[in-house]
Structure 1
């Protein structure tokens, strides 16, 4: 009798836990490589104009790289095989033909964390229109999910950044694989070795007056980074230093980082007089309380390397900045 009562109690507890609301639902951990989408769409649609539209949006070249690399890598599969472990990808885009026109963005549908987006339309033309009209929203949702995942991975093994906090008044989540190449009271150069080169961060501050608003902003950002590079990052040849590639016009955007207005600049760096170059991403964070721009820049040197995922890691690192 006691054993029977105990068994009933266990079953009752298990049923309560499994049915006590959506937040108690037991779902598996998501998986997948960074910046790789699972694309669920009929083979015929994928091979036709719908697939072309998807690739033109989601596999468009990443801005600011020295060679064409896609925004996302895409793994297509037809709906018939979308079951079991294939539903556990972290980022999923599904196309449904014959349904009402629209775009639905959901989280943690089959796994956690997960961004699951459904694009639907009655005809091929409707689906293409929904993709184009919602491209910014779709890309932003996937990119935010991937940045969160990259930051989670970085937090598993953190670099000790007490000197950064003490001297420049901010914190940043860096993997322990980084090392300090140079440090002064107002400048830090951090490096991480990769297969045939390095990933680098340089961090410094300048007065608010150093960067003007409007059309002059990109000119000032380039002028500031070139002057800092000339002082702090010299090349192996006499007279060589880190600067900005003059033949490649940088992209500049206004964004928000740590709840502060920020200028995001993407372009190509070069080592003056030494014929070396690569991509950089520069964030100038407006810190009015301290009357300064805190500037955090990431760049990669790696001959023959694909740069997308390295630059994405640097972007994820920089977006963890918290000014004290």
Structure 2
């Protein structure tokens, strides 16, 4: 379970677990604890200890029979079981060996279930008031941007838009989002080394730690953390996600970042968008989760119209 839920979030400048976990003995479950946003129950049907017996009593006999017949049946989801908007998952096996094998084989799937649910909850929370300026700023780039009203335009050009959510105090991260569009020529542009080069060219031209110092432009951190790449989808299009760290060329500032490159093949346009965090000596996981939620919610204007 630790390997699944406390695996490190890739690309952060300091190690942070993917999820925060609180372990509770089944007999100690209270009504308040049952109201938690995410609940995970773990048991084996051959375990006679009181804790497992307490969980096993919640299973209908047909589920136990199915688990006995199908060794790969190890998970049961029950949304909103104790509270609205809740994700409840039961992990089980006829014995410990079966349970562990199934958990290890389905690690990425299980992580994704909770990532998606957290993303959905966060989207509802932060998008209750949307930014009209962001929507208007995205139009020249051909993008439909759904951002919270707290994001303000810092710079806007025909092929570039930078929005920032400045932090009024030390309790909230300083988050920036920027978007860039250029002509799509070939698949070579989506190779990791070319995405990194494109990204650095954008920030070298537009974003500076100190606006009065042109040498303070933002650049990628290549050593720790090393940039990592994943496949994803944005606006129904194949996309490349890049996670890692950023710093100013003068080494005066730095933080974590998440960038996404994708192609609008109908119009032969290549988009790169990124969110980066400035939050010295603080955790970045939740800020990166917000960035991921906002960037992956981006759509092309024509798609939004349809």
Distance (Å, rounded) in 2 between the aligned partners of 1:311 and 1:192 = 13
Partner of 2:23: 76
Equivalence map 1:137-286=2 (5 Å)? 137-160=109-132, 161-194=134-167, 195-196=169-170, 198-209=174-185, 212=188, 217-236=191-210, 237-248=213-224, 249-286=226-263
Q: Is the Cα–Cα contact under 8 Å of residues 167 and 186 in structure 1 kept in the other structure?
A: yes
Comparing 242-251 and 224-233, the one that deviates more: 242-251
Distance (Å, rounded) in 1 between the aligned partners of 2:81 and 2:141 = 42
Q: Is the Cα–Cα contact under 8 Å of residues 235 and 299 in structure 2 kept in the other structure?
A: yes
Q: CA deviation at 1:116?
A: 1.5
Q: CA RMSD in A?
A: 1.9
What secondary structure sits across from 1:149 in the alignment?
helix
Q: Residues 197-248 of structure 1: CA distance to partner in whole angstroms, max 9, x if unpaired?
A: 61110111122227626xx711011100100111101232441201111324
Partner of 1:311: 288
Q: Is the Cα–Cα contact under 8 Å of residues 137 and 156 in structure 2 kept in the other structure?
A: no
In the superposition, the TM-score normalised over structure 1's length comes to 0.78
The higher relative CO (CA closer than 8 Å, separation ≥ 6) is in 2
Q: Residues 24-64 of structure 1: CA distance to partner in whole angstroms, max 9, x if unpaired?
A: xxxxxxxxxxxxxxxxxxxxxxxxxxxxxx11221111100
Larger radius of gyration: 1
Partner of 1:89: 36
In the superposition, the TM-score normalised over structure 2's length comes to 0.82
Partner of 2:97: 125
What secondary structure sits across from 1:66 in the alignment?
coil
Q: Is the Cα–Cα contact under 8 Å of residues 209 and 253 in structure 2 kept in the other structure?
A: no
Alignment: residue pair count: 269
Distance (Å, rounded) in 1 between the aligned partners of 2:92 and 2:141 = 49
Equivalence map 1:4-19=2 (5 Å)? none
Partner of 2:272: 295
- Unpaired stretches in structure 2, ≥5 consecutive residues: 46-63, 302-306
What secondary structure sits across from 2:193 in the alignment?
helix
Q: CA deviation at 1:122?
A: 2.8
Distance (Å, rounded) in 2 between the aligned partners of 1:210 and 1:274 = 34
Distance (Å, rounded) in 1 between the aligned partners of 2:99 and 2:207 = 50
